[in-house]
Amino acid sequence: MSTMMSTSPESPAGGLREIEFRDAIREAMSQEMRRDPRVFLLGEEVAQYNGAYKVSRGMLDEFGPRRIIDTPISESGFAGMAIGAAMMGLRPIVEFMSWSFSLVAADPILNNAPKMLYMSGGQFGCPIVFRGNNGAGGQLGSTHSWCVEGLYSNVPGVKIVIPATPEDAKGLMTTAIRDDDPVFFLESERMLGMKGHVPEGDHLVPFGQARLARSGDDITLVSFGRPVHFCLEAADALAKEGISCEVLDMRTIRPLDVGSIVRSVRRTSACVVVDQSWSFASPGSEVASIVHRECFDDLDNYVHRVHSVDVPTPYATNLEQEYLPNARRICEAVRACLYRA
Amino acid sequence: MPVQLTMPRLSDTMEAGTIVRWNVKEGDPVSSGDVVADVETDKATMEMPVFDDGVVARILVDPGTQVKVGTPIAVIATDGEDVAAAAASGATPSAAARAAAPAPAPAATPTAAVPASPAPAATAPSPVTPVKVELLDATARRGDAPAIAGAPQPAGPRMRMSPVARRMADEFGVPVDSISGSGPAGRIVKRDIEEAIQRMKSGQLAPVVRAAPAGAPSTALSMPVSTVPVVPIGAQAREVAVSGMRQTIARRLVESKLSIPHYQVTMRVSMDALLELRSMLNRQLETQGVKLSVNDFIVRACAIGMQAHPFMNASWGGDRIVLHSDVNVGVAVSLPAERGGGLLVATIRHADQKGLRQISIETRALAEKARTKGLSAEDMGGSTFTVSNLGMYGVEHFTAIINPPNSAILACGAAVEQPVVRNHQLAVGHEMSATLSLDHRVIDGAMAAEYLQTVRQNLENPATLMV
């Protein structure tokens, strides 16, 4: 898909090293494992098979089976075990083949990890990273196409990272591993092959700091993860109609960089939130609520939102495309928000 | 239901229109699109079409007659309706003009007030539907009259406007009654305000002139723009960007001069006793870092004078006069050129309850703050009277513009040593000219004179300022 190859105007031009999204994640994990012996990776097929999506390719060879651990198909078991390890001082990285499979581990990841520091009165922290594919991967059907950020961002104590570029994937993963709190790191199967410039060596991107993916004057598009690229595609199309879109890639939705959103919307007076969660009680609804509160006197229209359609993810390719917050639907929302529909 | 034609608003500034000629007479059939009349506005003569098929039941306004926008001017009986009944339903123009609303207000018979009554059609007119008449501009460019579709209804529903449009309209003084909204259901949106601001800048649209809220500094650019073109004179002419503060000064002073009926009252005040007392006090207080200025005495004299003259410490409220209970004296502070120049009014709160030392300390602190980091809205707001002093520049006499919502301002010149007559003898003394500018809506001349006498007595007997 061409949209996935879109890069931000800030991306350095050619000549610099470009690697795939999946390699950027691995580079961050491997560098941190070399730096810190407490860091280890576990999950289904991460070791012998080099990862179901080859994110952990070669890591077993370098770090051996004590630090790259194949687990049984038992998310609740290995997630809970890793949380125990984190409480006792290790720094696990748990790969879920898909975040859809994390639902069976809801109790440990939502009921234990985010609450541990609070419930133990500060005695036990939980420095753990859960990572895996999130969102519609392409004809995976309703049960394997989950976007979990809507559900999980409701829980206090979690940090939720949704990178949109290879560079951010490395920078945010490094920050996630060094973070002392549980971090949910949401990747997209559709973006693992995306290539882009990624700095070598230590590269950290702080949480709670949005990236200006495209600057513009007429409207602010707020997004994160894969839909950022839908927004950029829409912005290209809208530019031909004389509409200048600013695209903010939030990078993390917990913490959320409210300041960047507010500064942009105060300038443009218009805002569309693009979020591939379902609309009800979603990150998008939260952003809209914040913008309405913080920018009330600056808005020329209510905040428009583009979400996945409020149905289980369809299997058929054409329906799945229409279900997603695609560029066409974003363009429609932008025109409506600017009274140009 | 008969259709009532009303005088359309054919330009932003149109208040009334004159029927130049009727192209139809009562009884004539009309169909949608027919030009029924020529209407003269303040700008041009335009054709007025009708948008219904029917028969002209009644013409309410004769050619040559000027009526207000919204006044019923004719009644059309639509197809199948009784022309006589429709004619009876038309309000007379004078009655409608008095009613000032285009709504159905048939001033006919008392039975019309009882709509439930099943009276005969001829005496119980059915309500007429006011229709909006769209402009077909025969002479002017089409874009000249954009306000037809959204022409305001005098007693219409709440105006729809987006929050940012509302804020911008407020900031820039956009006359929202005169523009139409392009959003859903006529909502006025940002682009409508931006267009209106452009038209204001080019003089096509007059801004709203209104009294600024007390102490609310604004960055508005709502001054009327002169219609005389400004061209640079001389090869070395240059332009200076207008700062937000300069815009605020310009807007507020224009508003003050346009909306307040100013007049001035001047007295000469003998300042010898005060100057002597001031030197003595300053010598004694020097070690305490206190240095009283002449202006500190004037602020104190004005403030304690308010007790007997409450109308000097008041604001015009349109349908009432507000007599303030706090006496907050604004002191005009000029800013140095390196801070962009300009003028601020710092407020000394409860100046009537503060001694000279306190007034002096506060004034110095506010002036210093104004010149270094600028004043907050709190520092500038809430004044009830203002003092402006150019004595330190050697100015002998000047008049000041009232600082709304104050009703008065005192302009003081320098205490100049000059010949004076005392006890029929020529002597030499220090005399200061004190000139009040007043809002005649609140303060009449005799009231101003009495207050100025009080201030003069306070200044000429400065011991009263000490207690």
Please report, for the domain that includes residue A257, its CATH number. 3.40.50.920
The residue out of B141, B165, B184 marking a domain boundary is B141
Q: How many CB atoms lie within 10 A of CB B361?
A: 16
- Shortest distance, CA B339 to any CA of chain A (angstroms): 27
Q: Is A95 in the active site?
A: no
d(CA B385, CA B446): 18
Q: Does B49 touch chain A (CB under 8 A)?
A: no
What pLDDT does residue A1 have? 35
Q: Are residues A289 and A144 in the same domain?
A: no
Cα→Cα distances A314→A164, A318, A320, B57, Å: 24, 9, 5, 63
The reply to whether residue A299 touches residue B162, judged by beta carbons under 8 angstroms, is yes
In a domain, B243, yes or no: no
Round the CA-based radius of gyration of chain B to a whole number and report it: 31
What pLDDT does residue B217 have? 42
Who wins on pLDDT, A36 or B286? A36
Token pair belonging to A240: 């031909």
Q: Does A300 touch chain B (CB under 8 A)?
A: yes
Q: Are residues B270 and B401 in the same domain?
A: yes
What pLDDT does residue B175 have? 87
What pLDDT does residue B151 have? 41
d(CA B196, CA A169): 47
Q: Does A339 touch chain B (CB under 8 A)?
A: yes
Q: Are A221 and A247 in contact (CB under 8 A)?
A: yes
Question: Across all residues in chain B, what is the average pLDDT?
Answer: 80
What is the chain A residue with the closest CA to B185? A339
Give the list of residues 6+ apart from residue A61 with CB closer than 8 angstroms, or none.
none
Q: How many domains does chain A have?
A: 2
Q: How many domains does chain B have?
A: 2
Token pair belonging to B466: 């000490």
In a domain, B449, yes or no: yes
Q: Does A217 touch chain B (CB under 8 A)?
A: no
Q: Are residues A118 and A31 in the same domain?
A: yes
Q: Are residues B426 and B285 in the same domain?
A: yes
- Shortest distance, CA B315 to any CA of chain A (angstroms): 30
Q: Are residues A246 and A319 in the same domain?
A: yes
- Short-list B281, B297, B263, CA closest to B430: B297
The residue out of A130, A162, A197 marking a domain boundary is A197
**pLDDT tens digit sequence for B111-156:** 333 344 343 444 444 444 444 444 433 333 333 333 334 444 344 5
Q: Does B410 touch chain A (CB under 8 A)?
A: no
Q: Are residues A93 and A170 in the same domain?
A: yes
Q: How many CB atoms lie within 10 A of CB A95?
A: 27
CATH number at residue A118: 3.40.50.970
Q: Does A321 touch chain B (CB under 8 A)?
A: no
Q: Are residues A217 and A191 in the same domain?
A: no
What pLDDT does residue A219 have? 98
Give A269's contacts in chain B (Cβ within 8 Å).
164, 190
In a domain, B161, yes or no: no
- Shortest distance, CA A190 to any CA of chain B (angstroms): 39
In a domain, A205, yes or no: no
Residues of B carrying an active site annotation: 440
d(CA B274, CA A185): 78
In a domain, B33, yes or no: yes
The reply to whether residue A299 touches residue B167, judged by beta carbons under 8 angstroms, is no
Q: Are residues A257 and A186 in the same domain?
A: no
The reply to whether residue B163 touches residue A339, judged by beta carbons under 8 angstroms, is no
d(CA A315, CA A141): 5
What is the chain B residue with the closest CA to A339? B183
pLDDT in tens, chain A (341 residues): 333 333 343 444 444 899 999 999 999 999 999 999 999 999 999 999 999 999 999 999 999 999 999 999 999 999 999 999 999 999 999 999 999 999 999 999 999 999 999 999 999 999 999 999 999 989 999 999 999 999 999 999 999 999 999 999 999 999 999 999 999 999 999 999 999 999 999 999 999 999 999 999 999 999 999 999 999 999 999 999 999 999 999 999 999 999 999 999 999 999 999 999 999 999 999 999 999 999 999 999 999 999 999 999 999 999 999 999 999 999 999 999 999 97
Report the percent of chain B where pLDDT is more than 70: 79
In a domain, A51, yes or no: yes
What pLDDT does residue A5 have? 37
Q: Does B191 touch chain A (CB under 8 A)?
A: yes
In a domain, B189, yes or no: no
Q: Does A294 touch chain B (CB under 8 A)?
A: no
Residue B358 has pLDDT above 90, yes or no: yes
Q: Are residues B134 and B277 in the same domain?
A: no
3-state secondary structure of A150: helix
Domain hosting residue A135, numbered range: 8-197
Q: Does B170 touch chain A (CB under 8 A)?
A: no
Give the list of residues 6+ apart from residue A132 with CB closer than 8 angstroms, or none.
A43, A95, A96, A97, A98, A99, A101, A102, A185, A186, A187
Write down the H helix ranges in B51-204. 83-89, 93-99, 163-172, 190-201
* CA dihedral (B194, B198, B200, B201) positive or negative: positive
Whether the pTM exceeds 0.90: the reply is: no
- Short-list A65, A19, A70, CA closest to A42: A70
Q: Select from B182, B190, B191, B194 the residue whose CB has the most chain A CBs within 10 Å, as the one to mutate to test that interface.
A: B190
Could you report the predicted ipTM of this complex, rounded to two decimals?
0.75
3-state secondary structure of A288: helix
Q: How many CB atoms lie within 10 A of CB A297?
A: 14
- Looking at residue B197, its amino acid is I
In a domain, A202, yes or no: no
Question: Using CB atoms, which residue from B164, B184, B191 is nearest to A297?
Answer: B164
- The A residues from 252 to 271 touching B (CB cutoff 8 Å) are 269
Q: Are residues A248 and A318 in the same domain?
A: yes
Q: Are residues A229 and A191 in the same domain?
A: no
The reply to whether residue A339 touches residue B191, judged by beta carbons under 8 angstroms, is yes
Question: Residue B237: which pLDDT band, with cuts at 50, 70 and 90?
Answer: confident
Give B190's contacts in chain A (Cβ within 8 Å).
269, 300
The residue out of A164, A197, A230 marking a domain boundary is A197
Residue B284 has pLDDT above 50, yes or no: yes
Catalytic residue, candidates A18, A45, A144, A294 = A144
What pLDDT does residue B132 have? 42
Question: Using CB atoms, which residue from B163, B167, B182 is nearest to A339?
Answer: B182
**pLDDT tens digit sequence for B14-52:** 778 888 888 888 888 888 878 888 888 766 777 788 888
Q: Does B194 touch chain A (CB under 8 A)?
A: no
How many contacts, defined by CB atoms under 8 Å, are there between A and B? 27
Give the list of residues 6+ apart from residue A22 with CB closer than 8 angstroms, or none.
A53, A54, A55, A57, A192, A193
Q: Does B183 touch chain A (CB under 8 A)?
A: yes
- Beta strand extents in A4-102 (DSSP E only): 18-20, 39-43, 68-70, 91-98
The reply to whether residue B164 touches residue A269, judged by beta carbons under 8 angstroms, is yes
What pLDDT does residue B276 have? 94
Residue B372 has pLDDT above 90, yes or no: no
Region B86-115: mean pLDDT is: 45
- Shortest distance, CA B129 to any CA of chain A (angstroms): 30
Give A300's contacts in chain B (Cβ within 8 Å).
162-165, 189-190
Q: Are residues A178 and A282 in the same domain?
A: no
Q: Does B185 touch chain A (CB under 8 A)?
A: no
In a domain, B17, yes or no: yes
CATH number at residue B328: 3.30.559.10
- Shortest distance, CA A253 to any CA of chain B (angstroms): 27
Q: Are residues A107 and A167 in the same domain?
A: yes
Beta-ladder partners of B266: B435
In a domain, A161, yes or no: yes
What pLDDT does residue B281 have? 93
In a domain, B173, yes or no: no
In a domain, A241, yes or no: yes
The reply to whether residue B163 touches residue A298, judged by beta carbons under 8 angstroms, is yes
d(CA B243, CA A73): 68
Q: Are B332 and B385 in contact (CB under 8 A)?
A: no
The residue out of B114, B141, B168 marking a domain boundary is B141
The residue out of B141, B169, B192 marking a domain boundary is B141
Region B381-410: mean pLDDT is: 93
Give B182's contacts in chain A (Cβ within 8 Å).
339
Give B184's contacts in chain A (Cβ within 8 Å).
339
d(CA A45, CA B457): 98
The reply to whether residue A269 touches residue B190, judged by beta carbons under 8 angstroms, is yes
What is the chain B residue with the closest CA to A337? B183
Q: Are residues A160 and A14 in the same domain?
A: yes
Domain hosting residue B420, numbered range: 261-466
Q: Are residues B295 and B440 in the same domain?
A: yes
In a domain, B34, yes or no: yes
The residue out of A197, A219, A241 marking a domain boundary is A197
d(CA A171, CA A7): 16
What pLDDT does residue B157 have? 57
Residue B324 has pLDDT above 90, yes or no: yes
